[in-house]
């Protein structure tokens, strides 16, 4: 019979488990930062050696993805082995994966459109088109690069560290901490402001909710990809202070900082906070079916075994009943009842 642990031992075991999870989260985030530096140096060296200046960012994202997967597999081996790689990094194989990605991309595109439209209405957005064979090549290259960078960011923040933090602190505190970290990292970008940090923090909350509602990165990956691709490639605007993603379209925003975000980009504009808040509501609404399919815990039958011994009085009554007499056994006669010899006539 398994006896429950004393309360003090249970608390000690819980604190020990939480400490391990927090240590793994810290190691995961440190590895994410180190992998980013290693990938940057490796991509720069290879791009210079092979004269691949256009593909520098793509090489960096590929190297970063590889290093993140290797590091995640190593950290997961601390707990258990044999987990499929796709499930380990947060991309489980399931029928709705393409739909989740497309839905996230639609939400991201809609949020960017809501953020950019006021600039167009007030005449603060100046657009220039560049139509050339090289621009089409850069368009495809930048789309692939943005997809890889968005995936690397999702794996680094929400593919492994976020899940371990949920086990240690619960989903609410894990969302707050990862989102704040996601926003603070944006503060290291060029020309960042307090508003840009707030915007990226809200965006981090939206991406965390995408994971919590689907237990996968498909929805968040699509949302993150569409946000960067729509701003940097479709509209040709700076993204997180980066302005080298434009290929076919190059835009310049001129006007008040509350509308354009200044030198940093539209993420530093106060108006952008409203579409980002709307994105949180959109993620919750569109993911209701997936939340039921992928996050609902299996139903466990209630109750317990009813092996209760009968009352003592009932047992005594059963003992008081006299045993039944043995059944009579009928013995057939040994003398034959029919004539053995027929009478003479």
Which residues on neighbouring strands pair with residue 126, listed in sequence order? 252
Q: Looking at the predicted structure, is the pLDDT value of residue 223 above 80?
A: yes
> Residue 156 has what pLDDT?
92
Q: What is the mean pLDDT of the chain?
A: 83
Q: Is residue 164 part of a domain?
A: yes
Report the pLDDT averaged over residues 128-143: 84
d(CA 219, CA 249): 27
Q: Is residue 145 part of a domain?
A: yes
d(CA 238, CA 231): 7
| CB neighbours of residue 130 within 10 Å | 13
> Residue 101 has what pLDDT?
97
Q: What are the E-state strand segments in the chain?
A: 125-129, 249-253
d(CA 318, CA 272): 81
Q: Is residue 25 part of a domain?
A: no
Q: Is residue 278 part of a domain?
A: yes
Q: What is the pLDDT of residues 94-135, one digit of tens each?
A: 999 999 999 999 999 999 999 988 887 776 677 787 777 788
d(CA 76, CA 73): 5
Query: What is the per-residue burial (b if ≥16 Cβ within 10 Å, else e) of 7-22?
Result: eeeeeeeeeeeeeebe
Q: What is the pLDDT of residues 264-318, one digit of tens each?
A: 888 888 889 999 999 999 999 999 999 998 988 776 666 556 666 767 766 777 7
What is the end-to-end Cα distance of the chain in Å, rounded? 88
pTM (predicted TM-score): 0.80
Q: Is residue 82 part of a domain?
A: no
Q: Is residue 111 part of a domain?
A: yes
Angle at 246 between CA 253 and CA 104, to 5 degrees: 90
d(CA 232, CA 237): 5
Chain-centroid distance of CA 102 in Å reads 16
> Residue 123 has what pLDDT?
64
Q: How far is CA 116 from CA 183, 236, 246, 251, in A?
A: 21, 11, 16, 11
Q: How many helices (H) and strands (E) does the chain have?
A: 13, 2
- The least confident of 93-107, 207-221, 227-241, 318-332 is 318-332
d(CA 66, CA 38): 11
d(CA 331, CA 326): 15
Domain containing 157 equals 92-294
Q: Looking at the predicted structure, is the pLDDT value of residue 184 above 80?
A: yes
Work out the widest C-alpha separation in the chain, in whole angstroms: 144
The count of domains in the chain is 1
Question: Would you say 211 and 97 are in contact if contact means Cβ atoms under 8 Å apart?
Answer: no
Q: Is residue 71 part of a domain?
A: no
Q: Is residue 114 part of a domain?
A: yes
> Residue 59 has what pLDDT?
93
> Residue 213 has what pLDDT?
95
pLDDT, greater one: 221 or 53: 221
């Amino acid at each position: 019979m398994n006896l429950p642990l004393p309360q003090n031992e249970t608390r000690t075991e819980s604190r020990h488990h939480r400490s391990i999870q927090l240590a793994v989260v810290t190691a995961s985030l440190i590895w994410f930062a180190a992998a980013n530096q290693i990938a940057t140096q490796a991509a720069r060296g290879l791009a210079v050696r092979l004269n691949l200046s256009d593909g520098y960012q793509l090489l960096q994202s590929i190297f970063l993805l590889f290093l993140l997967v290797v590091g995640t597999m190593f950290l997961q081996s601390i707990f258990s082995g044999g987990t499929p790689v796709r499930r380990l990094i947060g991309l489980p194989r399931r029928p709705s994966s393409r739909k989740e990605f497309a839905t996230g991309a639609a939400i991201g595109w809609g949020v960017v459109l809501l953020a950019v439209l006021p600039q167009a209405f007030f005449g603060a957005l100046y657009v220039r088109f560049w139509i050339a064979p090289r621009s089409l090549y850069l368009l495809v290259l930048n789309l692939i690069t943005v997809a890889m960078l968005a995936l690397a960011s999702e794996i680094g923040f929400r593919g492994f560290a976020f899940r371990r933090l949920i086990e240690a602190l619960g989903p609410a505190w894990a969302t707050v901490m990862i989102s704040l970290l996601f926003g603070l990292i944006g503060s290291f970008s060029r020309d960042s402001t307090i508003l840009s940090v707030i915007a990226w923090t809200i965006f981090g909350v939206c991406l965390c909710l995408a994971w919590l509602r689907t237990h996968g990165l498909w929805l968040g990956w699509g949302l993150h990809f569409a946000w960067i691709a729509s701003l940097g490639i479709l509209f040709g605007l700076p993204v997180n202070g980066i302005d080298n993603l434009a290929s076919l379209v190059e835009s310049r925003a001129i006007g008040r900082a509350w509308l354009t975000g200044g030198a940093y980009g539209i993420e530093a504009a106060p108006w952008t906070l409203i579409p980002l808040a709307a994105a949180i509501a959109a993620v919750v609404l569109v993911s209701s079916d997936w939340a039921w399919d992928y996050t609902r815990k299996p139903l466990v039958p209630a109750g317990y075994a009813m092996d209760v011994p009968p009352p003592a009085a009932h047992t005594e009554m059963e003992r008081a009943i006299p045993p039944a007499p043995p059944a009579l056994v009928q013995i057939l006669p040994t003398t034959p009842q029919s004539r053995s010899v027929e009478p003479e006539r």
